[in-house]
Amino acid sequence: MQKWRNYSFMRFIRLLAAWLWEHLGTISMVIGWIASFGVPAWFASATEWLGKYGPIAWVSAGFIGVLVFSMVWLVVAVARKIWINSTVHKKFYDSADRVNPMETYFSRKRIKLEDLLPPGSGFVEGKTFEDCELIGPLNVLSIDSFLESNRFESVDHIAISPSANVLNARVFHKCHFRRCKFFNVSFLIAAEFVEHVTNWGGTNWITLPLNKGDPALTPSLPAPPDTESEKPL
């Protein structure tokens, strides 16, 4: 019987500790509010130059304490959220699958695109990706590749001249991307394919202008003659 009582007591302690840990944030906030009101109010009542004003001084000091505590709590909560987001973000980008860059087909993999590049080369050719998460950072120049039903997160699209000499990009040649998610990638797109790529949906162009027929995407032509000024006087 004594053994059973000891077991029940220890189980109660474990459950209580688990509950306290789970609700630690709420408990701390409630205690903080009570203390932030009570302590300033007590000091106000114990201070001679404030005590003479009676309850109005005590209550005012209490509410000022609650306001200060709430501001500090908000700053701490925002800082904690930023820290958690940065930790999760870093963990996501550091948790890519190990892949064999010699393979030509990848399915349901989380891949750092840099891991696909051969040593000393910036050229990836003839690979197929299906339902993969493809992670940068990387500048990608896609040549004769096909993208189908993909999603883009933190991805930019940059229109470039067809004759541009691109130095800071990795070439993906004759690759297929189906139902993939791209993260932290910048796509370099030749100007003549801007309209086609825009039709993919989800594109984020950071170069302007982008409209078909715009002077940035088409050769400039001389202005037509001013026929009015050429009429004989």
Number of domains in the chain: 2
Placement of tokens 């993999």 in the chain: 109
Chain-wide mean pLDDT for the chain?
75
Q: Which phi and psi angles does 211 have, rounded to 5°?
A: -80, 145
Q: Is there a single domain that holds both residue 81 and residue 164?
A: no
DSSP string, 149-166: S-EEES-EEEEE-TT---
Q: Is residue 221 part of a domain?
A: no
In this prediction, residues 37-62 reach a mean pLDDT of: 69
pLDDT of residue 130: 95
Q: Is there a single domain that holds both residue 110 and residue 193?
A: yes
Q: Is residue 223 part of a domain?
A: no
Residue 12 pLDDT class (50, 70, 90 cuts): confident
Residue range of the domain that includes 80: 2-94
Q: Is residue 163 part of a domain?
A: yes
pLDDT at residue 114 tops 60: yes
pLDDT of residue 2: 56
pLDDT at residue 232 tops 50: no
Q: Is there a single domain that holds both residue 35 and residue 62?
A: yes
Q: Which phi and psi angles does 79 have, rounded to 5°?
A: -65, -40
Q: Is residue 100 part of a domain?
A: no
Q: Is there a single domain that holds both residue 22 and residue 76?
A: yes
Digit-coded pLDDT (tens) for 132-160: 999 989 999 988 888 888 999 889 999 88
Q: Is residue 192 part of a domain?
A: yes
Sign for the CA dihedral angle at 110, 112, 113, 115 comes to negative
